[in-house]
A and B are shown apart, each in its own frame.
Chain A
Amino acid sequence: MTPIRIAFLGLTDAAPLVVALEKGFAEAEGIALELLRDTSWATLRDRLVYGQVQAAHMLAPLAVAVTLGLSQQPCALSAPCKLNVNGNLLVMNPDFAAALEPDAAARLGDPLATAHDFANAIGLYHRKPIIGVVHRFSSHALILRYFLASAGVDPDRDVVLRVLPPSLMVEAMRAREIDGFTAGEPWGSSAIEAGLAEAVAASERLWQRGVEKVLALRTDWMEDNADTVDRLLRALVAAASWCDDPANREELARLLSHPAYVDQPHDLIERALSGHIVARRGEPPVDLPDFLLFAREATPFPWRSQALWIYSQFVRWRMVESSADAQARAAAVFRPDIYRRALASSEAPMPGASMKVEGALAQPLAIGAPKGAITLGPDRFFDGRMFDPDRIEDYLEGFEVPR
């Protein structure tokens, strides 16, 4: 048995890691998995960078940021597989939400209109709303900025983005330190259930197949331990398939609700797993079937174009200077080659390409693959833009910079 320690945060999308351990998928690959829960992304990152753990459940943009040296300590990280797609909610307190579309399902269904309502609500509020984000280098922060900017809001000028770990968001809402937040589940649902917030946007409606958490490894460790990495990826992909099976949903929710993992009621956790999101306490759930994906449509496959989309947003928000070198290093964080090597002997269907135009699919599309066929789900951005990884400059010029 090869011992592997993985650091994670208490979130529903840590499910493939928990299942790999609890349902024996890791053991079947000869891996003695140990999971270490952290509260803050900074601690999780440091544990990975300084070798206290071999792998981490990491925000995809944070893995890119660490590699580019935007974080505290530069270190080359690699993401040979994604742990999930989508899974976040933006929630705001009921006072603020009262200025938005009152029908919560309509509000979630039309993000472009909601962004404009949001922009108007800022004016009514007489001060900058304070919105909690889990990290500067998170998909949450990047897509929130994109969402706000689509209605002319400058996220660095018109709102205050306050960084807090996801598990502290609900308490910060209760203490009125923040007016809303965007985080992975179950924290949005937890605030809604406490009557402290209403859902304003769901990540699957902002970018239908948005990149979220990855399995992050130190690149040098990954290269020195090829066989172990392959076994770990096989275990995680098998676990992810188990997580996506509706028959396992209740058991999964109960597993995650354990105090060692998410430590929240299982019925709250089940909302994200089933895509039945209660947008306002006491109302019937809104049906969001793609709220959280673990395995279907080759979810774990790390498309390089998605690492480049993250890079494009870093450039857009002036978190990094645009350069050919930075772009190449960002793209290299996602490692479809390692994924292909590890899963070559398995049943997992494998895309033939490593990049795609993100946001181009309005309808499900069956793509040819060297092994099996894969149907990719619609992956549109809510504003209809497409991200061509070969034309990043053109893409960025298409945005009106709100300042």
Chain B
Amino acid sequence: MRIVIIDDSGARATVLEEGLRDAGYDDIHVVPPRGAFVARLERMAPDVVLIDLGNPSRDSLEEMLIVSRALAKPIAMFVDQSDDSMIGAAIDAGVSAYVVDGLRKERVKPILDLAIRRFNAFARMQAERDEALTQLADRKTIDRAKAILMRTRDLSEPDAYALLRTTAMNQGKKMVDVAAALITASDLLGGMS
């Protein structure tokens, strides 16, 4: 069974491809949705195509599938039209699966289930990375505020940190917000930071 993943994000395509290989599929191709990718795809004659829901090339792909049908090439449709819950899960995960008509559902369902899990895993990975980046930025802000306090109020590092923390607690704010306010104020007052 030939599976094509249309994706220009290397990371997601890798996650998907590895999962599919682990599950025993080996005829897997990744096609970036650029230039004449539709013609390339047509030549590959895949049995299943996986594409990210947010991918702008979906319109072009659907057009190809409709025209292929007119040319009596493989007929494709959006999953099994009767299985709403499966489609719903696919959409929530961000995967649109185009499945060749006549392909048995027993064979397609595990691929799609796997794709959904992998898409979800990728989304989680991205969320975790974003969070890590935010935390890094927050820490830098707090470090700058701490440095200002240490310089202007002659505090030790632990004391500066404690002052920021108690202020945040007393005001019911996040520490990073208090730190940012302090930096802004310091900049306004002559840029001691």
Contacts and interface: CB of A to CB of B under 8 A. Distances in A.
A346 interface: no
A71 to B, nearest CB: 8
B59 A134 contact: yes
Q: How large is the interface on A (under 10, 10 to 19, 20 to 34, 35 or more residues)?
A: 20 to 34
A50 B56 contact: no
A73 B81 contact: yes
Most chain B CB atoms below 10 A, which of A38, A43, A74: A43
A163 interface: yes
A74 B91 CA distance: 16
B58 A43 contact: yes
A187 interface: no
Contact of A163 (B54, B55, B59): B59
Nearest to B67: A136
B59 A42 contact: yes
A44 B91 CA distance: 11
B57 interface: yes
Interface string A39-57: 1111100110011100000
B88 interface: yes
B187 interface: no
Nearest to A72: B78
A168 interface: yes
Nearest to B52: A43
B91 A46 contact: yes
Contact of B55 (A40, A46, A72): A40
Nearest to A136: B63
A165 B78 contact: no
A42 B58 contact: yes
Contact of B96 (A46, A71, A136): A46
Contacts of B143: none
A42 B62 contact: yes
A175 to B, nearest CB: 8
Contacts of A107: none
Given A47-B91, A74-B81, A40 B57 contact: yes
Contact of A162 (B60, B62, B77): B60
B91 A41 contact: no
A134 B63 CA distance: 10
B133 interface: no
Contacts of A168: 56
Interface size class of B (residues with CB under 8 A): 20 to 34
A112 B69 CA distance: 33
Interface string A247-279: 000000000000000000000000000000000
A73 B62 contact: no
Contacts of B63: 135-136, 162-163
Contacts of A40: 55-59
B35 interface: yes
B92 to A, nearest CB: 8
A177 B35 contact: yes
B6 to A, nearest CB: 12
B59 A165 contact: yes
B55 to A, nearest CB: 7
Nearest to B51: A42
A165 B91 contact: no
Contacts of A46: 53, 91, 96
B35 A41 contact: no
A164 interface: yes
A73 B82 CA distance: 9
Contact of B59 (A47, A52, A135): A135
A164 B87 contact: no
Contacts of A134: 59
B91 A50 contact: yes
Interface in A36-85: 38-43, 46-47, 50-52, 71-74
B59 A50 contact: no
A40 B6 CA distance: 15
B66 interface: yes
Question: Quick one: which of B53, B54, B59 has the most chain A CB within 10 A?
Answer: B59
Contacts of A47: 91
Contacts of B77: 72
Interface string A350-390: 00000000000000000000000000000000000000000
A181 B77 CA distance: 27
Contact of A52 (B56, B58, B91): B91
Interface string A157-170: 00000111101100
B29 to A, nearest CB: 21
Given A73-B87, A134-B59, A164-B60, A43 B35 contact: no
Given A47-B91, A50-B91, A41 B78 contact: no
A164 B78 contact: no
19 contacts: A40-B56, A40-B58, A40-B59, A42-B59, A42-B96, A46-B53, A46-B91, A47-B91, A50-B84, A50-B88, A71-B62, A74-B81, A134-B59, A135-B63, A136-B66, A163-B59, A163-B62, A167-B56, A168-B56
Given A43-B58, A52-B91, A74-B81, 4 more contacts: A40-B56, A42-B62, A50-B88, A51-B88
Report, nearest first, the 3 A-B pairs whose CB atoms are least far apart: A72-B78, A163-B63, A42-B58
